[in-house]
Structure 1
């Protein structure tokens, strides 16, 4: 916010002109709009967000058309001490965002280009692209990109946190595939950042990116398909009744994942009946029904009551989770990383889930788990990027999903209880949580590990004024629940 000495003359000028002093839009139309690439880029209507829980509430939205618009907006907001936040997918659920009517949202949606080099071994992805858009372009080009598993999430937001995804057993984490980044830093400068040009900033962006700038584009590795099977996988849902839960959990614990295998576990309600079910979703890259049944034999031995698995093309791998992309409602999240699937723990999580899910308006709530083969990911040196959790075998999160904010306290009780249960039997020496899944109350070492001092030193160099501070504020003495300016995907 402005210092008092700055506010007084502004208020006096407003009074003399008999204008509405609360109109940030008026001010930006006069002072910022002429610096942008076109007219009509300012609005008071924010793009739809995945969750209304603790949602940013900007006074003005700048719908940028170019990277230069991002830089101009950052320069203007920083010079005038106006909080700002960048938006792409709008799926971040952390409780660390507090943009209000005195702030600006930078909507990156128009920066959604996806292009490839001549041999399709590199993809350049705009900061406004979601995962569905990137996969569609890659599929059309006959190449693959390591992205996340949810179509509506921003590609680069997911990657900047670490970047789990269906292909990571083969190609590693998203951060391991980044070649260069186009970044607007706190000084409003648009930088090309590589391991050679600035190893510290390149390191920090890959795991803690939102603390250092707005990434307008990234060039990442892509993998041309040599055969038709390279663009397909065997996947789908295996559905179980609640009394089979312990056997399903044990089967997942006993799985020996290979680089082509992924396993997901869901607690979700049937869309028609509202009755919650246990759903395992196996994924086998280049697989077919016979190979899939063999690879996931332990889950088939439990006896699923329904099986929707099939061979699916690359551009359809994530379709089964599209229902989870529905905008609106309240969807806070609580997550934990852990090493072992403990049946008794998961029964307790199930009981907490069912108790909340049965409340009026909470039927869509869920619990999700994902696990990948980590051989490739762990072959990369642990300190090669700011992402700290290469050792974590499983990640899970509880999402209370409800329509009435009066359930906030009960949602927190459920989510917190589920997280505590998973932490209690995590098998880790300390709590470790994937930053893109984190709630917002975690200590910095839980989401950034031992890299916090180095991140703080890089912060002091590139953002000494702490412009980007809402996404797990990494300043010495900072906490994850402060608010000034930042960005999210």
Structure 2
């Protein structure tokens, strides 16, 4: 390299660094300028952080706000939204911070409205309804329900925000008997793009109610909600579950068994391709779940057991321990650009290709040893019985939701990690048994066509978007406009 060229490169790098520093300074300065004004309108329970780190489950394509407002009082949400909208400041609401898609555009000029401190949970007198705020996670609601001799519908990861998952549909271990999480909603407290508050129900505003239940992030902010809850004494609130470990040579037999399996209301299944430390040797893990006794559970999942696991750690667990196996997934940070496919059929040959791709990726990149292929399979009868006319969530007939999760620290691996995720999706999508790619919004990557996310609900959702969010304030999560 010539001296002149070297001098030019150094100069450009210096300019780039200077611009970056200048951008951050401008963002911090802007935040400091309006932080005082915001402080005058919100309660002392809420705090404003300028230039702080916004910790999320995945750092890949994560929003990079100039300011984070940590909400301590529910009424403050509408005040922050009104403040931001009046000044055309972009904003994003955040509950658990687990959303991983690449559709975020929020940068240093924007605000994250962090609702993780909103943790109130109350049951009505006969415990058939539970009211909870937007910061409540699966772990929070399970603990409250367990202590009240109640069962509430929750997802499989303890750290995930209940409302964040629900407004995209909400998969649940108990959706066999009760339907999806979105089907548990009775009412929501809602804030629109101008900061106006109201309570929304199926009767008060049927169109908005339908849109919120599946595409909620595009239509406003839900600060709290009322769910159905179900009286179940602790001594009856039990399920048979746990890990079955298999040799990879059994993949075809396992996938054939899953494809043939009819998931009755009490049944659910997770399965993983995972590499356990310290050697990070790829492993096949099945996690059957049955609402009932061990004897009945083993009978219902007999086809999986007949394949012959190398190890069996299943047991009858109480409701408050059902999600323990997924706690490792709650580790925040790192880069996790994930890719999802909805399956109505499970093709053994396709899954052999996925295994080979997974094993090859880990061999080439041992630094990505926590990379995982996760698949969740559910009973669909109750969800189909309730029907899509009740909500905008479109894929009630999907049996299994598969997601490839590359997991690593170094951004230089982004290209190969994304190529790996895309290959997994490309293996599974053609044999999924669906009319085209279908991806559950809470698992999807962000590069999919909108039809793959919103299905047949898309045209109506786009019409309603113009009515309920004409200024496009809510355009950070798989935007409809």
Normalising to structure 2: TM-score of the pair? Answer: 0.92
Matched, 1:313 2:318: yes
Question: How far does residue 286 in structure 1 lie from its aligned partner after superposition?
Answer: 2.1
Matched, 1:153 2:160: yes
Q: Is the 8 A contact 1:168 1:376 kept in 2?
A: yes
Q: Is the 8 A contact 1:339 1:394 kept in 2?
A: yes
Please, which of 419, 423, 441 is the counterpart of residue 435 of structure 1? 441
Q: Alpha-carbon deviations, 1:161-184, whole Å to 9, x = none?
A: 111110000100111111001111
DSSP 3-state at the match of 1:86: strand
Please, which of 244, 259, 262 is the counterpart of residue 250 of structure 2? 244
Q: Is the 8 A contact 2:46 2:76 kept in 1?
A: no
Please, which of 356, 365, 382 is the counterpart of residue 351 of structure 1? 356
How many angstroms apart in 1 are the aligned matches of 2:416 and 2:462? 36
Please, which of 424, 428, 433 is the counterpart of residue 422 of structure 1? 428
Please, which of 258, 270, 276 is the counterpart of residue 276 of structure 2? 270
How many angstroms apart in 2 are the aligned matches of 1:171 and 1:319? 22
Does the C-alpha gap of structure 1 residues 370 and 22 become closer, same or farther in structure 2, counting only changes over 3 Å? closer
How many angstroms apart in 2 are the aligned matches of 1:141 and 1:46? 37
Does the C-alpha gap of structure 1 residues 46 and 224 become closer, same or farther in structure 2, counting only changes over 3 Å? farther
Task: Report the counterpart of residue 132 of structure 1 in structure 2.
Answer: 139
User: RMSD over aligned Cα, in angstroms?
Assistant: 1.4
Question: How far does residue 112 in structure 1 lie from its aligned partner after superposition?
Answer: 1.4
Q: Alpha-carbon deviations, 1:375-408, whole Å to 9, x = none?
A: 1111112221100001212210100001111111
Please, which of 135, 148, 162 is the counterpart of residue 141 of structure 1? 148
Task: Report the counterpart of residue 472 of structure 2 in structure 1.
Answer: 466
Please, which of 34, 38, 42 is the counterpart of residue 32 of structure 1? 38
Does the C-alpha gap of structure 1 residues 68 and 279 become closer, same or farther in structure 2, counting only changes over 3 Å? same
Task: Report the counterpart of residue 342 of structure 2 in structure 1.
Answer: 337
Task: Report the counterpart of residue 7 of structure 2 in structure 1.
Answer: none
Task: Report the counterpart of residue 455 of structure 1 in structure 2.
Answer: 461
More deviation, 343-352/356-365: 356-365
In the TM superposition, 1:71-86 aligns within 5 A as 71-86=78-93
Question: How far does residue 22 in structure 1 lie from its aligned partner after superposition?
Answer: 5.0
Q: Alpha-carbon deviations, 1:104-150, whole Å to 9, x = none?
A: 11110111111110111001111011110111111111101111111
Matched, 1:327 2:332: yes
Matched, 1:196 2:203: yes
How many angstroms apart in 2 are the aligned matches of 1:106 and 1:180? 22
Normalising to structure 1: TM-score of the pair? Answer: 0.91
Task: Report the counterpart of residue 70 of structure 1 in structure 2.
Answer: 77
Unaligned runs of 5+ in 1: 1-18, 476-489
Task: Report the counterpart of residue 300 of structure 2 in structure 1.
Answer: 295
Task: Report the counterpart of residue 210 of structure 1 in structure 2.
Answer: 217
Runs of 4+ aligned structure 1 residues displaced above 6 Å come to: none
